[in-house]
A and B are shown apart, each in its own frame.
Chain A
Amino acid sequence: MEASPEYAVQMHGILKTFGVFTALDRVDLDVKKQTVHAILGENGAGKTTLMNILYGLYQADEGEIFMGGQKVNITNPTEAIKLGIGMVHQHFMLVENFTVTENIILGDEVCSAAGVLDMAKARKEVMDLVEEYGFDVDPDAKIQDITVGMQQRVEILKALYRGAEVLILDEPTAVLTPQEIEKLIEIMHDLISKGKTIIIITHKLKEIMQSADECSIIRRGVYMGTVDVHQTNETELASKMVGRNVNLTVDKTPAHPGETVLAIRDLTVKDERGIEQVRSLNLDIHAGEIVGIAGIDGNGQQELVDAITNIVKAESGSIKINGEEIVNTTPRNTFLHKIATIPSDRHRWGLVLPFSVSENTVLERHADDEFGPGLTLDYGKMREYTTQLIKDFDIRPAGSEDERMSGLSGGNQQKAIIARMVTAAPNLLIAFQPTRGLDVGAIEFVHKTLIAERDRGAAILLISFELDEVMDVSDTIAVIYHGQITGTFAQGTVDENQLGLLMAGGEAK
Chain B
Amino acid sequence: MFANLILLIGITLMYSTPLIFGALGGVISERSGVTNIGIEGMMVIGAVAAATASYFTGNPWIGFLAAGACGALVALLHAVASVSFAADQTISGVAINMLAPGLALFACRRFFDGAAMTPIAPKLPKILGESGLAGTAFANLNVNVTTVLALVFTVIMWFVLYKTKWGLRVRAVGEHPAAADTLGIDVYKVRYCCVILSGMLAGFGGASMTIAIIAQFTQTAISGHGFIAMAAVIFGKWTPFGAYGACLLFGFTQALVIMLGGGDFVVPSQILSMLPYAMTIIVLILFVGRSVAPKADGVPYVKGSR
Contacts and interface: CB of A to CB of B under 8 A. Distances in A.
A77 B184 CA distance: 5
Interface string A66-107: 000000000011100100000101010111111000110111
Interface of A: 52, 55, 57-58, 76-78, 81, 87, 89, 91, 93-98, 102-103, 105-109, 111, 115-117, 158
B78 to A, nearest CB: 25
Contacts of A96: 175-176, 295
26 contacts: A57-B181, A57-B303, A77-B181, A81-B183, A81-B184, A93-B176, A93-B178, A93-B182, A95-B171, A95-B176, A95-B179, A96-B175, A98-B171, A98-B175, A102-B168, A106-B172, A106-B179, A106-B185, A107-B169, A107-B180, A107-B185, A108-B183, A109-B168, A111-B164, A116-B164, A117-B168
Interface size class of B (residues with CB under 8 A): 20 to 34
A111 B165 CA distance: 7
B164 A94 contact: no
Contacts of B85: none
Contacts, number: 69
A109 B182 CA distance: 15
Contact of B182 (A55, A97, A98): A55
Given A95-B175, A115-B165, A116-B163, A106 B180 contact: yes
B138 interface: no
Contacts of A93: 176, 178-179, 182-183
B304 interface: yes
B92 to A, nearest CB: 21
B164 A117 contact: yes
Contacts of B183: 77, 81, 93, 106-108, 158
A295 B146 CA distance: 58
B166 interface: yes
Interface of B: 163-166, 168-169, 171-172, 175-176, 178-185, 295, 303-304, 306
B304 A57 contact: yes
Nearest to A49: B304
B165 A117 contact: yes
Most chain A CB within a 10 A radius of its CB, from B169, B176, B306: B176
B169 A106 contact: yes
Contacts of B304: 52, 57-58
A109 B175 contact: no
Contact of A87 (B169, B175, B182): B182
Nearest to B178: A93
A115 B172 contact: no
Contacts of A76: 184
A107 B175 CA distance: 14
Of B163, B180, B184, B185, most A-chain CB atoms within 10 Å? B184
Given A109-B165, A115-B166, A78 B175 contact: no
Given A76-B184, A116-B163, A117-B163, A106 B175 contact: no
Contacts of B184: 76-78, 81, 107
A364 B237 CA distance: 38
A94 B176 contact: yes
Question: A-B pairs with the 6 shortest C-beta distances?
Answer: A107-B183, A78-B184, A93-B179, A109-B165, A115-B164, A95-B175
Contacts of B169: 106-107
Contacts of B166: 115
B180 to A, nearest CB: 7
Nearest to B184: A78
A111 B172 CA distance: 17
